[in-house]
Structure 1
Amino acid sequence: MEGLLMPLNSFASFRDAVSGFGCAAVLAAMMGACATAQQVQDGPSPSKIVPASDVDWGPLNPARGDASPRAGTLWGDRAAAGASGFLVQFKQGFSSPPHIHNVTYRGVVIEGRIHNDDPAAANMWLPAGSFWTQPAGEAHITSAEGEFNMAYIEIDEGPYLVQPTENAFDNGERPVNLDRSNLVWLDASDIAWIERDGGAEVAFLWGGEADTGARGTLVKLPAGQSVRLSGDRADLKIVSISGEPEVQLGGANAKHVLMPGSFVASAPNAADVFVCNVKTDCLLYVRSEGHFEITSTRN
């Protein structure tokens, strides 16, 4: 995916509701700083929400002007050292020039269809709910198809930069392109930390079930079901992928609809409640430190 020519942290309004930028591109490119998205916090709960409607958007690559995808931070700072997660929007028909990145990134398609592969590869369109990885140093292009295209991008170490293909290198990793139809779903009959009454299923994307470090998992909630998600080591970083679930933070009464692209930083042991009220399954991406638990709200 086409990234930054220099560290950047500027954004504009959500989707295409507002066309202006939240910070001037030149200032953002020089200073790498803009206001972060508004966070919602209910009462005493330490968990926080960044609604998709409150994400500030700006150009991912200011050097390309209007041809650049747009990006909006959910957590961390992609222009600085450390891990971060952000949304990227692509216009219909977008296709980047061949390029490389200085760091490996992971992506989950939220809306539309996205292709990410070697410049000479045939298009392999990944629909919403699909997952891909792009190793550092490998030449590739990113394309988008559909009226509106959006993905969640995550890195383990910043800053996130773009470099020419002349600087390509092999870091030993290989890319992954995993269509949603090829995901392997596991439930309470397979995993001890999922309660059967909740009806939830999980698909491991990276890190592995036995890994005690950071890992990424998709959680699927059936229509009409509600569960508590809880981790004890660090915040669960949760991104709404599809289905518009509701979240109830800790013991608060307020419920918040999580439009696709919304983010929840679920504090350790908060046991925030997620409800799938729509007629289709709800899909969440969860980044955790080691294991987390999925328990039923019926208990």
Structure 2
Amino acid sequence: MKIIISLLVVACFVLSCQEEQKEEKEQEVSRLEIDNSTNKVGLSKDIKFIPLNPARGDKAPQAGAIYGNIRKDVATGYIGKFKNGFSSPPHIHNITYRAIVMNGELHNADEKAPKMWMTTGSIWTQPKGQSHITAAQGENAMAYIEIDSGPYLVKHEGEAFESDEKPINMHASNVIYLGKSESKLIGENCDAKIAYVWEKKNGENGYLLKLPTGFKGNVYSEGSIFFGIIISGKVAYTMPDSGKIIGLDQGSHFESKTKAIHDISTNEESLVYIRTNARFMIE
């Protein structure tokens, strides 16, 4: 009996080790040289802005798509610009969105809620169908906003409806960043930090990377979806084929559609939002 129990314990231990090794292997990100890279960059100066709510024209916040199209049924990431002192009437949206403050201070909540001004790096989500207002203060107030499908519509609060989603407002001071000793996505010699923002059942994820001044390293990605949007600061990006260095300021981005190596560096602390559908690692 003792021999049988011992064998069972050993077998369980071996299976456990095999599972751990399998998990670690699955979590590894390829560092091989990439042929036929799909690396691209997009510059903030090339973003074209349109009224977020066509009915209000220039009085409405302005929306500039980084990818996708807010008028179509596609996943879209865009920059929303708000004038100092802007405050919307109560309204709803037909779809849920998530947002990260880039500049200024933004408030997004129920009409009767006290103001909670969110600063750069703050995160909020707005469930579809729920009545709310959005307000802004400060020059050049703007946010990165993301939807999984469209079109993005603004409707009267009288059309409000219930969903199973709840809103989230998280001030930047409450966002928790993990370092190399706490996250497997950060290399052992890397001083970058990461915050886990959201996760979907289909494997898509959102993260915030905090890069220190003087950072120089690589982001190894494997997803068919991979976007790195500059939320604040500036990032120097080296193109893999030509070796050309391109400066990416706030609102600019880098992307890829296959396995890729993103060579980045900074001269100031920078915040980068990552959206992807596969594992990645920064070293």
TM range (shorter): 0.7 to 0.9
- Which is greater in Rg? 2
Aligned length: 249
Post-superposition Cα deviations, 1:201-257, rounded to whole Å, max 9, x if no partner, equal 10011118xx66111100011110122112213131111011111111324311111
Consecutive unaligned residues of structure 2, counting only runs of 5 or more, are: 1-35
After the TM superposition, which residues 65-80 of structure 1 pair with which residues of structure 2 at under 5 Å, given as runs?
A: 65-80=57-72
Q: Provide the C-alpha distance between the structure 2 equivalents of 1:269 and 1:65, rounded to a whole number of angstroms.
A: 41
Q: Provide the C-alpha distance between the structure 2 equivalents of 1:187 and 1:256, rounded to a whole number of angstroms.
A: 27
In structure 2, the residue corresponding to 1:181 is in which secondary structure? helix
Whose RCO is larger (CA < 8 A, sep 6+)? 2
Alignment check: 8 A CA contact 1:45 1:252 kept: no
Alignment check: 8 A CA contact 2:227 2:254 kept: yes
After the TM superposition, which residues 44-123 of structure 1 pair with which residues of structure 2 at under 5 Å, given as runs?
A: 45-123=37-115
Q: Provide the C-alpha distance between the structure 2 equivalents of 1:133 and 1:87, rounded to a whole number of angstroms.
A: 15
Match 2:167 to one of 175, 198, 201: 175
In structure 2, the residue corresponding to 1:95 is in which secondary structure? coil
Q: Provide the C-alpha distance between the structure 2 equivalents of 1:204 and 1:90, rounded to a whole number of angstroms.
A: 26
Residue identity opposite 2:260 in structure 1: A
Alignment check: 8 A CA contact 1:103 1:155 kept: yes
Alignment partner of 1:284 is 2:272: yes
Q: Provide the C-alpha distance between the structure 1 equivalents of 2:134 and 2:54, rounded to a whole number of angstroms.
A: 17
Post-superposition Cα deviations, 1:35-56, rounded to whole Å, max 9, x if no partner, equal xxxxxxxxx6421111111111
CA RMSD of aligned residues (A): 1.7
Structure with more helix by fraction = 2
Post-superposition Cα deviations, 1:162-194, rounded to whole Å, max 9, x if no partner, equal 111111111111111111110111111112232
In structure 2, the residue corresponding to 1:239 is in which secondary structure? strand
Using structure 1 for the length normalisation, give the TM-score. Answer: 0.80
Using structure 2 for the length normalisation, give the TM-score. Answer: 0.84
Q: Provide the C-alpha distance between the structure 2 equivalents of 1:197 and 1:294, rounded to a whole number of angstroms.
A: 10
Q: Which residue of 2 aligns with 1:192?
A: 184
Match 1:270 to one of 260, 264, 273: 260
In structure 1, the residue corresponding to 2:86 is in which secondary structure? coil
Alignment partner of 1:220 is 2:210: yes
Q: Percent identity?
A: 40
Alignment partner of 1:247 is 2:237: yes
Runs of 4+ in 1 over 4 A off after TM superposition: none
